Amino acid sequence: MLTTDPVLTVEKGITMPTNTQDGLSSSRNTGHIGWFPVRLITWSCSALKYLACEAAEYFHCPEKNLEQRKIKTVFVGAGPIGLWAAIQHKLNNPDADIQMFDKHSNYTRKHTVRVDLDSFKGAKMNLGLKFLKMKFEHLHGRIGCNVLEEQLLGIAKDLGIKVNNNGAEVTEIGPDSITLKDKTVIHYDQLVGADGAHSKMRKALQSQSLEKGEAVDLKAFGREDKNEEFSMRREIQYRARVRYQVKGNTKRLKSTWLSWMKHYYPVSKLFGSPVDEHIGPLKDNGTRTITLDFFVNQDEYDALYKDGKGFNLSHPANLTDLPESLSKKIRTWQELKHRNGEVNVEGSVEATPYALMYFQSKKVTAVTSQDKPVYLVGDCATALPYFRSLNNGLKCANGLGASLARGDRKPHRSKALTDNYDRLVDLRARKEFVVARLKDRAVSLLNGTLRLVNRSPLQLSYFKVQPAN
């Protein structure tokens, strides 16, 4: 489900710890959260300015003597958000010349995403998108990220968008061209970075080189994200993902109301968090992987991440590496499942800590020395926890599609167009950060209540922790 980069793995709002050269990075929090009334006033002013600029652009006529050459738009990355932005661009301007490049021929994210139907608001629709919306309605908004990408890829190709996802890794960005891994140079008039959470395009934009007319070598950047890249980054919760193997068949702990009451609820109290349990398919060797995902407190997270440990997916902790509180929880879970007939494989426990975070890129747009606008969209611009990242990305991509179509007709307006897209991304991010913080308070309240109830001497349903073997 998660990618297994040896150094760092960040997925939508999910960041796996990084081993830096000088040990583990210190705080990954950056940016200042101002006083709420001040934020509200600045947000409202910014929203008004955004609307005024949108209206001005809408009524602004293109100059008569414009060069009639077709404007070429190039995308770095063809994930769901990049594809959505390209489709919106094409629907806003059917003559648009769009070329997309992606290094992977098979999209790698396979997790289920929850797509809000609200994300379609403000989007231009064609038959393909209407069909996709109906599919979301039917699936209650839940769809595999790779399935979504596949559907959007089909719609994009039908619209005449050229997608090269045959190992077309972009390795260099210049002020009016990009270079692929095989040294092919492609010129652009508008450039969009949609290369995901670890975006190298984001890193390239921070360097200001494009404005100075210098090319940026993307290969020179590591996958580690630095605080300087973000105007705001906050780790808001810590979680652990625990995997272990079992022999044959097993049942989820909360498979019925009775098992929820008898087993799942007391275990949640003990964990101090609801536990997401996923049972993998039966493998050839007759085993299955059980994945548990739950909130941990900062001490438990630090014990796995800090002090030179830095466990991650490619370097997971085993039961003996875990702090006592965590290993007690897992032993209790396994003991309970054992009583329900589950046979686990000895010594197969692997645990990985990760942080839920939100961030916003310090720079979301640039205008190069050749007067070409560059935009960031999707996870590379803003990442959010609690199933909001994709939805926010789709909404920003609606705005970007309209901006790119305007750029086709009015290429001399690049500064005005990029400035207003900047405002849109900032407005959306600030709103979503508030929602994320509110959800976070609710999660903390729920987890706190579970822990509190667990300490209460009077309990209707509880489970006694087994002593360590």
Ligand X SMILES: Cc1cc2nc3c(=O)[nH]c(=O)nc-3n(C[C@H](O)[C@H](O)[C@H](O)COP(=O)(O)OP(=O)(O)OC[C@H]3O[C@@H](n4cnc5c(N)ncnc54)[C@H](O)[C@@H]3O)c2cc1C
Under the rule (CB under 6 A), what is the footprint of ligand X?
Answer: 11-12, 14, 76-82, 101-104, 107, 109, 111, 113-114, 145, 169-170, 194-196, 200, 218, 378-379, 387-391, 393
Q: What angle do CA 31, 297, 466 make, to 5 degrees?
A: 170
Q: Is the separation of the CB atoms in 74 and 172 below 8 Å?
A: no
Q: What tokens were used for 408?
A: 């086709």
Residue number, 153 or 303, with CB nearest to ligand X: 153
Helix (H, G, I), strand (E, B) or coil at 1: coil
In the numeric block, the tokens 């729920």 are attached to 446
Closest contact distance (angstroms) between CB of 261 and ligand X is: 28
d(CA 156, CA 355): 34
Per DSSP bridges, beta strands 72-76 and 190-193 are: parallel
Closest contact distance (angstroms) between CB of 321 and ligand X is: 24
Closest contact distance (angstroms) between CB of 378 and ligand X is: 2
d(CA 191, CA 214): 15
Closest contact distance (angstroms) between CB of 435 and ligand X is: 12
Q: What tokens were used for 303?
A: 């014990």
Residue number, 290 or 336, with CB nearest to ligand X: 290
Residue number, 104 or 409, with CB nearest to ligand X: 104
Residue number, 287 or 382, with CB nearest to ligand X: 382
Q: What tokens were used for 304?
A: 């796995």
Residue number, 19 or 391, with CB nearest to ligand X: 391
Residue number, 221 or 301, with CB nearest to ligand X: 221
Closest contact distance (angstroms) between CB of 382 and ligand X is: 9
d(CA 293, CA 273): 10
Closest contact distance (angstroms) between CB of 372 and ligand X is: 18
Q: Which helix (H) or strand (E) holds 397?
A: helix 389-409
Single out the residue of 274, 264, 271 nearest to residue 326, CA to CA.
Answer: 271
Residue number, 156 or 390, with CB nearest to ligand X: 390
Residue number, 363 or 409, with CB nearest to ligand X: 363
d(CA 427, CA 392): 11
Single out the residue of 268, 263, 245, 271 nearest to residue 329, CA to CA.
Answer: 271
Closest contact distance (angstroms) between CB of 377 and ligand X is: 7
d(CA 281, CA 15): 26
Residue number, 14 or 326, with CB nearest to ligand X: 14
Residue number, 18 or 287, with CB nearest to ligand X: 18
Closest contact distance (angstroms) between CB of 289 and ligand X is: 16
Single out the residue of 197, 296, 302 nearest to residue 242, CA to CA.
Answer: 296
Per DSSP bridges, beta strands 382-383 and 216-217 are: unpaired
Closest contact distance (angstroms) between CB of 66 and ligand X is: 31
Residue number, 109 or 331, with CB nearest to ligand X: 109
- Tally of CB atoms within 10 A around 167: 13
DSSP letter for each residue of 247-289:
ES----TTSSHHHIIIIIHHHHHHHTS--EEEEPPPPTTSEEE
Q: What residues have CB less than 8 Å from 425, skipping those under 6 apart?
A: 360, 364, 376, 381, 382, 396
Closest contact distance (angstroms) between CB of 63 and ligand X is: 34
Single out the residue of 217, 206, 214, 219 nearest to residue 176, CA to CA.
Answer: 214
Closest contact distance (angstroms) between CB of 76 and ligand X is: 5
Q: What residues have CB less than 8 Å from 283, skipping those under 6 apart?
A: 289
